[in-house]
Structure 1
Amino acid sequence: MNTKTDRLVRTLRLRHLELLVALAETPTMRGAAARLHLSQPAISKMLGELESCFGARLFERSHQGIHANALGTSAAFRARAVLHELARATADVDAMQSGITAVLRVGAPSVTAAVPAAIVKLRERLPGAAVQLREGRVHELIHRLLEGELDCVFGAITPELISSDLIPLLEPVVLLKDELCVLASVSNPGVNARRLQWADLRAAQWGLPPKETLVRQAFMTVFLNSGVTPPVPVIEAMSSVTIGTLLRKDPSMLCAVRLEHALDEVARGGVQRLKVGPQVVLPSFGLFFRRDGMARPAILMEFANAIRTVSGAIAPKR
Structure 2
Amino acid sequence: MRTLRLRHLELLVALSETATMRGAAARLHLSQPAISKMLGEVESCFGARLFERSHQGIHANALGVSAAFRARAVLNELARATEDVDALQSGVTAVLRVGAPSVTAAVPAAIVRLRERMPGVAVQLREGRVHELIHRLLQGELDCVFGAITPELLSSDMVPLLEPAVLLKDALCVLASASNGSIAARSYQRAELQAAKWVLPPRETLVRQAFMTAFLNSGVTPPVPVIEAMSSVTIGTVLRQDASLLCAVRLEHAVDEIARGGARRLDVSPSIDLPSFGLFFRRDGMERPLVLTEFADAIRHVSQVAAPKRRAARRRLEVNSAGTA
Of 242, 251, 260, the residue aligned with 2:243 is: 251
Aligned residues: 310
TM-superposed CA distance for 1:190, in Å, is 1.3
Q: Does 1:11 align with 2:8?
A: no
Q: Does 1:186 align with 2:178?
A: yes
SS of the residue corresponding to residue 11 of structure 1 reads coil
Output the CA distance in 2 between the equivalents of 1:121 and 1:45.
Answer: 52
Output the CA distance in 2 between the equivalents of 1:285 and 1:175.
Answer: 6
Q: Which residue number in structure 2 is paired with residue 56 of structure 1?
A: 48
TM-superposed CA distance for 1:191, in Å, is 1.0
Q: Quick one: which amino acid aligns to residue 239 of structure 2?
A: L
Q: Does 1:87 align with 2:85?
A: no
Over the aligned positions, Cα root-mean-square deviation in angstroms equals: 0.6
1:163-182 matched pairs, under 5 angstroms: 163-182=155-174
Q: Does 1:116 align with 2:103?
A: no
TM-superposed CA distance for 1:198, in Å, is 1.1
Output the CA distance in 2 between the equivalents of 1:282 and 1:230.
Answer: 18
Output the CA distance in 2 between the equivalents of 1:219 and 1:184.
Answer: 15
Output the CA distance in 1 between the equivalents of 2:186 and 2:4.
Answer: 69
Q: Deviations over 1:176-234 (max 9, x none)?
A: 00000000100012111111111110010000000000000000011111111000000
SS of the residue corresponding to residue 173 of structure 2 reads strand
Q: Does 1:223 align with 2:215?
A: yes
Of 20, 30, 45, the residue aligned with 1:38 is: 30
Q: Deviations over 1:70-120 (max 9, x none)?
A: 000000000000000000000000001110000000000000000000000
Q: Deviations over 1:241-272 (max 9, x none)?
A: 10000101100000000000000000000111
Output the CA distance in 1 between the equivalents of 2:183 and 2:131.
Answer: 37
- The runs of at least 4 aligned residues of structure 1 exceeding 6 Å deviation read none
Q: Which residue number in structure 2 is paired with residue 260 of structure 1?
A: 252
SS of the residue corresponding to residue 275 of structure 1 reads strand
Normalization by structure 1: what TM-score? 0.97
Q: Does 1:70 align with 2:55?
A: no
Q: Does 1:269 align with 2:261?
A: yes
Gapped runs of 5+ residues in structure 1? Answer: 1-7
Q: Deviations over 1:265-316 (max 9, x none)?
A: 0000011111111110000000000011011000000000000000111222
Of 146, 157, 181, the residue aligned with 2:138 is: 146
Output the CA distance in 1 between the equivalents of 2:191 and 2:303.
Answer: 30
Q: Which residue number in structure 2 is paired with residue 301 of structure 1?
A: 293
Q: Which residue number in structure 1 is paired with residue 197 of structure 2?
A: 205
